[in-house]
Amino acid sequence: MKKITNAISLLLTVVVFVSAFGALPVSAETVTAYSSELTALEEALYNGYVNMDATIGISSHGASFNDVQTAFINVLIKRPEIFYVTNRLNVNLTSNVVTSVTPVYYCTKDEAATYRAQIDVAVDYIFSDITDDMPDVQKLLLLHDRIVSETSYDTTFDTNNIVTNENSSILGVFVRKTGIDESYARAFKYCVDKVGIKNEIVYSKTAGHMWNQVCLNNKWYNVDLANDDPISSLTSEDLFAQVKHGRFLISDSKLGSAEYGTDFVSNATTSDQMGTEYDGYFWTNVEGSFIMADGACLYADKYGKIYSYDFSKNEKALITSITDRWSAGNGSNYSIRYVRLMYYKGYVYFNSPKEIYTMRPDGTAKSIIYTYKVDSRQIFGVGYKNGVPSYTLRESLVAKDEIKMISQATKILTAINVTTMPTKTVYNIGEKLDKSGMVVTAVYSDGSKSDLLETDYTVSAFDSSTAGQKNLVVSYGSKTCLLTLTVKAAVGDVDGNTVVDTADLLALEQHMLNLSTLDDQALEKADMNNDGVIDSCDIVILRFEILGL
């Protein structure tokens, strides 16, 4: 477990503190879909902080210093949007009653407005493809993964033990992209509030840690993002886009008192009990982010298998898998646990030790777009670095990362070709198209090629009602190519009406008796034994054909 803060460490000063603020007003925060309940005293403090008042009068509440201190802590925990309020509590006391609070703000009103705009951009990105109709579990999982994957734990805190607004408020996760447990917990609550799911922040003084609890179907579950964000003392950056799920939707008993203490107040009650059904759930075998790809939720487990998961049905489907193992040197290998997923411009990207693959969200059109051959380093994941599709290289598991852009990420489909003709290319009149053996290959701007599955491309209608050469149009994406087939005239259809009957026999007999003359196409159809000569043998064979003999 990470070294973590003494949650909400307060510097208390009983003085009147006067501060000047900019003239531009800061509007009240948008009402969230879910808001933790506040007492009247907490509401008074919160409203003052929202307006960034220089002094918040609370004499009518008759509150003691201890009452105000508790209310102050609760407001900072329940309302993460007031990120600009520091953890310093200054009060004015009269006869042991707090008459006013003088807030200490991290920034001015104008600066707060700027930070809020930056926070909105980050939150919009996190919510970019989270939809109202998703099951709540799926929403929570995506929020968990995106916050963890976009944030680096502030390891400098372990050295200097200084808590600041930059590493403990939502500024850390959403703007600085680094933070301690308080920042992770507040950022998660800020997002979960927006999706309307009941939730609270909890903390343990004995463990010095802060995390979240969420309520689903009247059951509470713990979510600890900070401890699902792995850090390694051996590397400057941990495995790229690594996200663990061992602390996602777990029960109090699963937390463990040794790490989390016993003094925290769980939200589980008689009516809202603690849930246990997700303890040890399938996502504990997932060490990368779940991603959304064209409406499908995909993940790669630590065994190298890539699945899509339907949360509404609780069903998974295997899409593809990676079997290559990462070399650990000396002839040994690491387990298959370093496959990461990324969705970019209609394609899912994933990696093996030396290759970067792309495929469509349903697993079709799978191809290798990049092979690393520069040195012995291996690819330990793909993902976004500052919004740019990237991959990470390292010599070994404990070596330093080098993150590089995927220049091939913008590859464009340039052409498709029928690289192997179907087994059947010559048809009789009336026969249906048979694509068996046919291979269609997509060509991309980076020089890569990918053989398409039959379900990837379409072929225009095949008209075999008449003889001749038929050009069919093969389509994939915005590209097309031609498939040329031949329909030959039916043997015995002398009169060309597509039916072999007595009329054809009569026409052939009249030709033999010089009563009429057949053209070359009719003569070709009349050559029943294909010997190049029209004679009585052809009449006999045609008669048997008509009689079905």
- 337, 390: one domain: yes
- 454, 383: one domain: no
Residue 331 falls in which region: left (phi positive, over 0), alpha (psi -120 to 50) or beta: left
- 18, 107: one domain: yes
Is residue 271 situated within a structural domain?
Answer: no
3-state secondary structure 191-260: HHHHHCCCEEEEEECCCCEEEEEEEECCEEEEECCHHHCCCCCCCCCCCCCECCCCCEEECHHHHCHHHH
CATH number for the domain that contains residue 422: 2.60.40.3630
Is residue 163 situated within a structural domain?
Answer: no
How many domains, the chain? 4
Q: Specify the residue for token string 């149009």.
A: 473
Task: Indicate the residue among 70, 94, 111 that finishes a domain.
Answer: 111
- 96, 107: one domain: yes
Average pLDDT over residues 203-226: 94
Residue 438 pLDDT greater than 80, yes or no: yes
CA distance 265 to 499: 87
Residue 82 pLDDT greater than 90, yes or no: yes
- 478, 513: one domain: no
Quickly count: other Cβ atoms within 10 Å of residue 226's Cβ: 27
CA distance 426 to 124: 57
Is residue 521 situated within a structural domain?
Answer: yes
- 334, 400: one domain: yes
Give the CA diameter of the chain: 134
Task: Indicate the residue among 349, 379, 410 that finishes a domain.
Answer: 410
Is residue 341 situated within a structural domain?
Answer: yes
Written as six digits, the tokens of 379 are 């690819």
- 55, 101: one domain: yes
Q: Specify the residue for token string 């700027």.
A: 114
Is residue 274 situated within a structural domain?
Answer: no
Is residue 143 situated within a structural domain?
Answer: no
Written as six digits, the tokens of 141 are 């999982």
- 347, 435: one domain: no
- 40, 103: one domain: yes
Q: Give, as one character, the DSSP assignment of residue 486.
A: E
- 372, 333: one domain: yes
Beta bridge partners of 388: 385
Range of the domain at 444: 413-484
Give 496-518 pLDDT, tens digit per residue.
Answer: 776 778 888 888 888 888 888 88
Is residue 344 situated within a structural domain?
Answer: yes
Is residue 22 situated within a structural domain?
Answer: yes
- 351, 423: one domain: no
Q: Specify the residue for token string 């790490």.
A: 259
Task: Indicate the residue among 352, 386, 410 that finishes a domain.
Answer: 410
Using an 8 Å Cβ cutoff, are 106 and 86 in contact?
yes
Give 114-170 pLDDT, tens digit per residue.
Answer: 999 999 999 999 999 999 999 999 999 999 999 999 898 887 755 555 567 788 999
DSSP 467-530: -EEEEEEEEETTEEEEEEEEEEPPTT-TTSSS--SHHHHHHHHHHHTTSS---HHHHHHH-TT-
Q: What is the pLDDT of residue 540?
A: 83
- 453, 465: one domain: yes
Look up the pTM and report it. Answer: 0.74
From 505, 514, 444, select the one nearest 479 (Cα to Cα).
Answer: 444
Using an 8 Å Cβ cutoff, are 487 and 468 in contact?
yes
